[in-house]
DNA sequence: ACTTATACGTATGGTGTCGTACAGACAGAT
DNA sequence: ATCTGTCTGTACGACACCATACGTATAAGT
C-alpha cells in the first residue's frame, strides 16, 4: 500500500532564510522544469545558473575513461547545485544530470554571487551545504567500494524517495545500473529480490515504494549516515 | 638507478602568498613533525590546528562500518589540511592520518580563521585548494570503483613520490592494503609485478622508486587527471 | 494487426578480489 | 646465536560481479 506523503512545495535551504532574503531570492530567480536526462552543468565548463530543487532529483556524476558516469552525490529539495561557486572558481566540479523530473528555483551564477556575498544568510547556508555535500561525496565513495549492489540499490531508492513527491518515479534498470556503476543484470537481480520481498513494485521503469521500513532495513548503513549528517549540519545548526 | 630529486623546503600554497602574508603566517605558526600513523584530526571532532605540509604525506580516510579506513585523498606539500574551516563548520570532515613521516607548518584554527579572513590571499588560496581537494575526492571515488589494484597501486606510489623528498619511503604491504581497501595478498601480487618490471624496489616496507616513467605508464589515468587538476586550479590561476 | 523499440528476466563462462591460511625471510632483541 | 615479531610470497576455494547474449513481454507507431 503506497503511503500518503505530503511535502512543502519549496526548497529547504531557501526556507531557512529570513523573509527579507527569501524575497530577494524570489525577485532574482525563476521557476524551471527539470526534465529527466537534462545536463544542468558539464564538467570543467562554466555553469550559467545555480539550482535550488523543489521536486525532482539531480545527480552529480564523474566520468572516468570510457566507463559509465558514476554517481557521487544526489541533490534534491534539501540542497542546491552550484555551491562551489563560493570557492571563487567558476568551473563546475562535476557533471550534474537530472535523475528524476521535477522543478527548481533557478538563479544566474552572477546573481547568486551577489546575493550570497559576505555576511548574508544565503552565504552561510550555502557554505554549510557545501560541507554536507563533501561529506556525501566521501560517504558515497566508501559505500561504492565496500557495499554490495543490493544494499546500495535500496539506499539509492530511499534517498530518491526522500527527495521526491509521491511514491513513484521513472527509473529504468539501465539507468540505475549506470549511476551505480554496475551491470544492468545485477540491478535486475537486486530489484527482483526487493520486489519479491514486497518492498518495491516496478514495471518498465515505473518504480513504487511499498514498504519504507523494510527498504531501510535492506539498505546499507550509508542511508542513515548521510541522512543524519545532512540533518545535523544543515538544519539543526540555525542560521545566525 | 634512483634519480636525484631536489625540492624547495616549503609548502606550495604558502609560497603563493605575498611576502607580507607569508610573514604573518610564519609569525603565527610553528614547525612540527608528522610521524607515521599520527592522527591529526578525527572525524566529527573539532581539530585544533591546520597543517601545511612541507614534507611527508597526510591521508584523508573514511571509516565505514568495521571496514578498514579507505583513503579518499592525499595531502602533501602542494596542499593543506583544514581548509574546510572556511565553510564555517568547526568539525573535521574526515579522519586525517600521517601516511609518510615529514614536517609541516602548523597553525591554530583560530589563527587560521583570522589570517584567512575576507580579502586575504590566504583565503583565496585555501578556497581554491578546497575546490581541488573536492575534485581529488571525486576522482579517487571513481578510481577506487573502476580501476584495478595494479593501476591504483602505481598511482598511489607516484602521488606519494611527488609529495615526498627523496625516492624512498616506509610503507608496508599491510598499510597499502588498508588505505587502498584491498587484501594484503592483492598488494603483494601487484607490488611483485611492479618490482619484476624494475619499476620499484622494496624490502620489508622500504620502497624505492626506480623508474618513474615506467611507473606512470603502469598507473591508471587518474594520476594524470589529478595532477593536471591541481596544477591548473592551484598554480596557474594566480592569486589576485 | 503488424512492426519496431524498449524494458526486463535469465543464463553462462570468465575474472578480480576476498578470506584465510601457512611457510619462508629478514631484522632486532636477549 | 637463538628467539621473536614483522614483512612477504603463495596457494586455494568462495563469491560478487562482469561481459555478453538471447528470449520474452509490454508499449508505441504505422
Q: What is the pLDDT of residues B69-110, one digit of tens each?
A: 999 999 999 999 999 999 999 888 899 999 999 999 999 999
pLDDT digits (tens, 9 = 90+) for A138-165: 999 999 999 999 999 999 999 999 988 7
Are B72 and A134 a contacting pair at CB < 8 A?
no
Tell me what percent of the residues of chain B surpass a pLDDT of 90.
Answer: 78
Average pLDDT, chain B: 90
Cell 518495491, located at residue: A200
Measured CA A105 to C1' C5 distance, in angstroms? 35
Buried-exposed string B17-56: b where 16+ CB fall within 10 A, e elsewhere: beeebbebbeeebeeeebebeeebbebeeebebbbbbbbb
CB spacing of A137 vs B134 below 8 angstroms: yes
- What is the structure's pLDDT at B233? 76
Q: Which of A98, A82, A95, A107 is nearest to A35 (CA)?
A: A98
By C-alpha distance, the chain A residue nearest B234 is A89
* Rounded mean pLDDT, B221-226: 96
Tens of pLDDT, residue by residue over A83-94, are 999 999 988 889
Residue/partner pairs of A48-51 with CB below 8 Å, 24 or more apart: A48/A108, A48/A109, A49/A82, A49/A106, A49/A107, A49/A108, A49/A109, A50/A80, A50/A81, A50/A82, A50/A83, A50/A85, A50/A106, A50/A107, A50/A108, A50/A109, A50/A112, A51/A75, A51/A80, A51/A81, A51/A82, A51/A104, A51/A105, A51/A106
Q: For chain C, which bases have at least one atom within 7 A of a protein Cβ?
A: 6-12, 16-21, 26-27
| Rounded percentage of chain A residues whose pLDDT exceeds 70 | 94
Q: Find chain A residues with C-beta within 8 A of B124's C-beta.
A: 88
Q: First CA to last CA across chain B, in angstroms?
A: 42
Determine the pLDDT at residue B237: 55
First to last CA, chain A: 42
Residues A89, A84: Cα–Cα separation, whole Å = 7
Q: A7: pLDDT confidence band, cut at 50, 70 and 90?
A: very low
- Confidence category of residue B7, pLDDT binned at 50, 70, 90: very low
Q: Quick check: A16 pLDDT over 60?
A: yes
pLDDT given at position A46: 93
For the entire predicted model, the pTM comes to 0.92
Per-residue pLDDT tens for B175-207?
999 999 999 999 999 999 999 999 998 888 889
pLDDT at residue A239 greater than cutoff 60: no
Q: Per DSSP, what are the bridge partners of residue A207? A: A169, A202
Closest partner CB to B93 (pick from A118, A131, A144): A131
> What's the pLDDT at B231?
86
For A65, nearest residue in chain B (alpha carbons):
B221
Q: CB–CB of B93 and A127 under 8 A?
A: no
A21 close to A120: Cβ distance less than 8 angstroms = yes
The reply to whether residue B67 touches residue A142, judged by beta carbons under 8 angstroms, is yes
pLDDT number for residue B85? 95
**Residue closest to A98 by CA, chosen among A45, A46, A146, A164:** A164
Amino acid at each position: 500500500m503506497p503511503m500518503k506523503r505530503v511535502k512543502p512545495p519549496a526548497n529547504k535551504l531557501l526556507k531557512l532564510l529570513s523573509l527579507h532574503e527569501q524575497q530577494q531570492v524570489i525577485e532574482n530567480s525563476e521557476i524551471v522544469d527539470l526534465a529527466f536526462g537534462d545536463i544542468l552543468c558539464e564538467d570543467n565548463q562554466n555553469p550559467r545558473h545555480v539550482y535550488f530543487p523543489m521536486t525532482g532529483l539531480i545527480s552529480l556524476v564523474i566520468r572516468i575513461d570510457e566507463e559509465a558516469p558514476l554517481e557521487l552525490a544526489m541533490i534534491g529539495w534539501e540542497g542546491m547545485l552550484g555551491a562551489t561557486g563560493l570557492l571563487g572558481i567558476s568551473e563546475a566540479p562535476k557533471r550534474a544530470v537530472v535523475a528524476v523530473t521535477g522543478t527548481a528555483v533557478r538563479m544566474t551564477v552572477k546573481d547568486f554571487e551577489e546575493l550570497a556575498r559576505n555576511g548574508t544568510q544565503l552565504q552561510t547556508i550555502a557554505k554549510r551545504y557545501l560541507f554536507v555535500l563533501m561529506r556525501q561525496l566521501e560517504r558515497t565513495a566508501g559505500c561504492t567500494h565496500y557495499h554490495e549492489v543490493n544494499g546500495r540499490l535500496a539506499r539509492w531508492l530511499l534517498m530518491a524517495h526522500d527527495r521526491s513527491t509521491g511514491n513513484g518515479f521513472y527509473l529504468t534498470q539501465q539507468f540505475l545500473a549506470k549511476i551505480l556503476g554496475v551491470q544492468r543484470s545485477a540491478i535486475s537481480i537486486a530489484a527482483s529480490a526487493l520486489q519479491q520481498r514486497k518492498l518495491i513494485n516496478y514495471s518498465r521503469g515505473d518504480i513504487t515504494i511499498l514498504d519504507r521500513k523494510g527498504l531501510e532495513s535492506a539498505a546499507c548503513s550509508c542511508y542513515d549516515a548521510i541522512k543524519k549528517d545532512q540533518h545535523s549540519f544543515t538544519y539543526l545548526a540555525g542560521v545566525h
